Amino acid sequence: MSELSVNHLLGIKYLNKKDIQLIFETADHFKEVINRPIKKVPSLRDITIANLFFENSTRTKLSFELAEKRLSADVINFSASQSSVKKGETLIDTVNNILSMKVDMVVMRHPNPGAGVFLSKHVNASIINAGDGAHEHPTQALLDSYSIRERLGDVKGKNVVIVGDILHSRVALSNIYALQLQGANVMVCGPKTLLPKYIKELGVKVETNLRKALNWCDVANMLRVQNERMDISYFPSTREYTQQYGVNKALLNSLDKEIIIMHPGPINRGVEITSDVADSDQAIILDQVQNGVAVRMAVIYLLASKIKH
C-alpha cells in the first residue's frame, strides 16, 4: 500500500505525482461517504486538530472544519483577532501552548509566506498549510485539479489558464505546481503589472490578451483581484480591469469551443466574472466547494494515518 511521501502538507512543491494520485483516489471514497444519509465516519476519533487562522477565511475554514468533523476528529478553532497574538506572543509559543493540550495536527493560515515550513521545523505536530501569504494554498490547488479531473476525466494534456491577479495569489502558484505535476499545460493571463517578473521560469505560458488565452484553453481559473494586498495602484480602475480581464457570457459565446470556468472564491461578481457566467453550466464553482470537503478529508486522513499511535 502506498502512503504519502510527506508528513506535512506545506505546499504542492513538496509532493510528487503519486501523492496527488493517492489523495484523489482517497477523495473519491470520501466523496461517496459525504453523499450518504449519514455523512460521518469514525476513523479519526482519537485525533485532535487545531485550526489556526491568523488571516481571515470563510470557505477554507468551514471546509476544513467540516472535513475534520466528518472524520470524527476533535476540533479546536483559533483566530488571531481574538487571541494572545495581539498581546505579543510568538508563533512558536502560541502553537506549542496549543500542542501541550495534546493536539495532533495543525491546520494553519498565516499572512507570512513560509510560515508552515517554519512551524513544521519547530513543533511536533503534523502541519497542513491552509494558505501562507502569497505563497501556496495546496488544498485549493488539489481540489481545483480534482474538479477538472471529475469534469474532463483527466488533468493530463489539458490546457489551463489562470486569469487575474497572479502576483498576489497563492492559489496561482499552487495550481501551477499541481497542474504541471499532472502533465497539464499552464498559462497565466493578466495585466503585466499583476504578473510576477520571473513567472516564465516556472515553465508557464504568459499572455496578456484574455481572448487569445480563452481560445487556447480547456479550463479557465478566474482569480479575484486582491485589493487588500495592494499597496500601490496596479491598474487605472476596476472598470478598466473588467473591460480587459473580466469574463462575460458574450465573450464565452464568441469562442470556438465551450470551456470550463473555475473560481476559488470569493467571487467579485461583475469584476472578474459576470453573474450569468458564474451561475451558468460552464462554471463548476460550486462543485469545487463540494469537492473541497472530500479532498481535505483525504489529506487529513492520509496525514493522520502517518501519526504513530
Partner 1 sequence: MSQKVLLNAKAINIILHRLACQLIENHNDFSNTVLIGLQPRGKFLANRLAEMLTTEYKIKNIKLGHLDITFYRDDFRRGEKILEANTTDIDFIVEDKNIVFIDDVLYTGRSIRAALTAIQSFGRPNEIELLTLIDRRFSRHLPIQPNYRGRQVDAINEEKVKVNWVENEGEDAVYLVNS
Residues composing the chain? 309
C-beta closer to partner 1: residue 4 or 143? 4
Which window, 10-18, 25-33, 122-130, 186-194, contacts partner 1 (CB under 8 A)? 25-33
Per the annotation, does 87 bind a ligand? yes
Verify binding: residue 44, partner 1, rule CB under 8 A: yes
Helices H / strands E in the chain, number of each: 11, 9
Q: Does 215 bind partner 1 (CB under 8 A)?
A: no
Q: Toward partner 1, which CB reaches closer, 45 or 229?
A: 45
Report the Cα–Cα distance between both ends of the chain, in Å, rounded.
Answer: 19
Helix (H) or strand (E) holding 49: strand 48-53
Dist CA 80 CA 59 (whole Å): 17
Q: Which residue, 41 or 206, has its beta carbon nearer to partner 1? A: 41
Is 266 annotated as contributing to ligand binding?
Answer: yes
- Amino acid making up residue 27: A
Strand partners, 50: 76, 106
Please compute, for residue 159, the number of CA atoms within 13 A of its CA located in the half-sphere on the CB side: 14
Q: What does the block give as the cell for 95?
A: 502553537
Residue 18, marked binder: no
**For partner 1, which is the closer residue by CB, 22 or 199?**
22
**How many residues of this chain interact with partner 1, rule: CB under 8 A?**
26
In this chain, which of 13, 14, 41, 85 binds partner 1, going by CB under 8 A? Answer: 41
Residue 43 interacting with partner 1 (CB under 8 A): yes
Among 38, 153, 232, 281, binds partner 1 (CB under 8 A): 38
Gyration radius from the chain CA atoms: 19
Query: Which residues sit at the interface with partner 1, rule CB under 8 A?
Result: 1-3, 26, 29, 32-33, 36-44, 46, 71, 301-302, 304-309
